[in-house]
């Protein structure tokens, strides 16, 4: 019997001027999710059950960009995506383009367990959800007043808005977004701070699992798919580790960031902390991102090259930490 460990994130890239109240609100949500995961692990739930449970909680709360509270497309609608992976046999499931499924991560798990495929998207994923009897809601359920306002801001700035809750004042306003030196695939973007959610867990049996869920980018093109549902990029789990990524999706996709952590552990013999540090420093080129990870030995680690990352972690020996910067 080994030792369990858990980590959660609410996105990498945080506005340096983020109000203290917002920081504390995020920390409370992350702490609540850690507590849910810890209770489940103490009841000997397997890692795959725990990551789903925790991400469902994050999807239900509108604070971060997943499920209710998801970022809006250029058309003012929500298109969500998620993935989940079970390390022992490398089973996985992923979904994209969801508009009415209340908890995308649970549909991703059903794709893994109840379909012959690994990835379903758009109308096919919605049809599968209906057949599986998952909870469905109107698209309006996911749309919040804050996000409607931020979509308006993004359109006025003619920009994809990453941190769609950064207020339009001072250095963080729409004008600053247009002057930003940051780019995605060679095109200018606004202040960088996506708020994807994710969870990684290793249970007492040393089984690793990972799950990631997001609404994507504010003012994104309809049909855009990011890294979160892509196995090996936004999510990966093996017999060695479980990884969930967040940040500039296109950079994470190019670097297959989540898989890289497992790969350098396997092929270079690095431990978890060394592997996380290595891939953040050497695999992102000029991209901005972060990740959380656990190992089969009960280690937990996080890494990011952004100004901050909403994150929390806990281990069986009593260690628990929640942070932003």
81-140 residue pLDDT tens: 999 999 999 999 999 999 999 999 999 999 999 999 999 999 999 999 999 999 999 999
C-alpha torsion sign, points 164, 224, 182, 61: positive
Q: Is the pLDDT of residue 181 over 60?
A: no
How far is CA 63 from each of CA 18, 164, 168, 170, 259, rounded to the nearest angstrom?
A: 14, 11, 18, 23, 28
Residues annotated in a binding site for substrate: 224-227, 246-249
Percent of the chain with pLDDT over 70: 89
Predicted confidence at residue 191, as pLDDT, reads 35
> How large is the average pLDDT for residues 277-306?
96
Bigger pLDDT: 219 vs 275:
275
Q: Is the pLDDT of residue 146 over 90?
A: no
> How large is the average pLDDT for residues 11-38?
91
**Domain spanning 5-88+193-320 has what CATH number?**
3.60.20.30
Predicted confidence at residue 159, as pLDDT, reads 63
* pLDDT 10s digits, 228-260: 999 999 999 999 999 999 999 999 999 999 999
Whether 60 is catalytic: no
Catalytic-labelled residue, pool 73, 196, 212, 214 = 196
Q: Is the pLDDT of residue 171 over 50?
A: no
Percent of the chain with pLDDT over 90: 75
Pick the closest to residue 30 from 48, 50, 11 (CA basis): 11
Residues annotated in a binding site: 224-227, 246-249
Predicted confidence at residue 161, as pLDDT, reads 55
Contacts of residue 31, Cβ cutoff 8 Å, sequence gap at least 6? 312, 322
* 128 SS3 class: helix
For the record, the structure tokens of 68 come out as: 């209710």
Residues listed for the chain: 325
Q: Is the pLDDT of residue 66 over 60?
A: yes
Q: Is the pLDDT of residue 179 over 50?
A: no
Strand locations in the chain (E): 5-12, 80-86, 91-98, 119-121, 183-184, 187-188, 197-202, 208-214, 235-237, 241-247, 289-295, 300-304, 309-315, 320-323
Domain ranges of the chain: 5-88+193-320
* pLDDT 10s digits, 35-51: 999 999 999 999 999 99
DSSP 5-60: EEEEEEEE---TT--HHHHHHHHHHHHHHHHHHHHHHHTT--HHHHHHHHHHHHHH
C-alpha torsion sign, points 161, 195, 237, 131: negative
Contact 304, 280 (CB under 8 A): yes
3-state helix, strand, coil in the chain (%, to 5): 35, 25, 40
Predicted confidence at residue 217, as pLDDT, reads 87
Q: Is the pLDDT of residue 164 over 50?
A: no
Q: Is the pLDDT of residue 64 over 70?
A: yes
Contact 82, 211 (CB under 8 A): yes
C-beta neighbour count of 39 within 10 angstroms: 12
For the record, the structure tokens of 5 come out as: 């460990």
* 114 SS3 class: helix
Predicted confidence at residue 148, as pLDDT, reads 86
> How large is the average pLDDT for residues 145-157?
81
Query: For 313, left (φ over 0), alpha (ψ -120 to 50), or beta?
Result: beta
């Amino acid at each position: 019997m080994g030792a369990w460990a858990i980590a959660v994130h609410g996105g990498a890239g945080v506005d340096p001027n983020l109000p203290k109240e917002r920081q504390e609100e995020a920390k409370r949500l992350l702490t609540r999710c850690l507590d849910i995961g810890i209770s489940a692990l103490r009841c000997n739930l397997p890692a795959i059950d725990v990551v789903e449970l925790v991400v469902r909680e994050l999807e239900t709360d509108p604070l971060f960009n997943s499920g209710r509270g998801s970022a809006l497309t250029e058309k003012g609608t929500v298109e969500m995506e998620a993935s989940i992976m079970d390390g022992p046999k490398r089973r996985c499931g992923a979904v994209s383009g969801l508009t009415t499924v209340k908890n995308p991560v649970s549909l991703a798990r059903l794709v893994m367990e109840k379909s012959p495929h690994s990835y379903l998207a758009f109308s096919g994923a919605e049809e599968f959800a209906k057949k599986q009897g998952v909870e469905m809601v109107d698209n309006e359920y996911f749309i919040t007043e804050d996000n409607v306002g931020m979509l308006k801001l993004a359109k006025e700035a003619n920009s994809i808005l990453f941190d769609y809750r950064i207020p339009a004042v001072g250095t963080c306003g729409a004008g600053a977004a247009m002057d930003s030196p940051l780019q995605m695939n060679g095109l200018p973007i606004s202040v960088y701070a996506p708020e994807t959610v994710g969870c990684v867990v290793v249970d007492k049996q040393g089984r690793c699992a990972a799950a990631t869920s997001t609404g994507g980018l504010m003012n994104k093109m309809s049909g855009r798919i990011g890294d979160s549902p892509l196995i090996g990029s936004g999510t990966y789990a093996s017999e060695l580790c479980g990884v969930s990524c967040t940040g500039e999706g296109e950079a994470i996709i190019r670097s297959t960031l989540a898989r890289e952590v497992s790969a350098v552990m396997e092929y270079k013999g690095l431990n978890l902390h060394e592997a996380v540090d290595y891939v953040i420093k050497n695999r992102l080129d000029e991209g901005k991102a972060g990740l959380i990870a656990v190992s089969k030995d009960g280690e937990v680690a996080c890494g990011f090259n952004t100004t901050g990352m909403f994150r929390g972690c806990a281990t069986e020996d009593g260690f628990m930490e929640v942070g932003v910067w």
